[in-house]
Amino acid sequence: MIIRKLFTFEGAHIVRNCSSRRCRENLHGHSYTVEVFLSSDRLDNGCMVLDFGLLGEVRELIDSFDHACTLWQGEDPEIQEWIRRCNCRVVEMPVSPTSEGFALLFFFLIDRLLSHTIYTNGEGKVTLSSVRVHETATGYAEAFREDLKWVHFTANEVRFSEGIREEWKNNKWWEKLIEIS
């Protein structure tokens, strides 16, 4: 059985090296939709794969990208400096902020968060099946476990600006990710 939880965020990016000039040469924004698919080998005491209420850390992770400018670490240093100077919410990413890049990044981070979550209500082996990221209403990218072979970064390489971090309710989830990366 698979369950799915949907998250949203509004974000800005530039996608360098892509075919479309509109995307590669303009800072622009999208209303992102992130679908997280989970499965398990049994249901918990409440007859659920996983109570969505236990996804608070996933919610905080994705919310960290809301009204933020995502900045690929391969971006021109002058542009990087300008973006940091003009925005208090900036996420530096080790992958290009395409839907594919986001799906891969979110799969990697959410999988780690879930694998270090302690369940106490009879949950089974809760597994992240996939993460689907929609940048527009007409297309999406979906990352699966087998795609982790394309991950050549660590959680340490994702950097949230002070303006984002100061809105975190706590940073235990992030410290956990950094420790295990």
Active site residues per annotation = 23, 67, 135
Q: Give the separation between CA 105 and CA 121, rounded to whole angstroms.
A: 29
The owner of tokens 């530039």 is 14
Inter-residue contact 168 to 64 (CB < 8 Å) = yes
Q: Give the separation between CA 46 and CA 55, rounded to whole angstroms.
A: 16
Q: How far apart are the first and last CA of the chain?
A: 29
Query: Which of 18, 130, 8, 10 minimizes the C-alpha distance to 69?
Result: 10
Structure-block tokens of residue 123: 């949950």
Q: Give the separation between CA 78 and CA 75, rounded to whole angstroms.
A: 8
Q: Give the separation between CA 72 and CA 92, rounded to whole angstroms.
A: 6
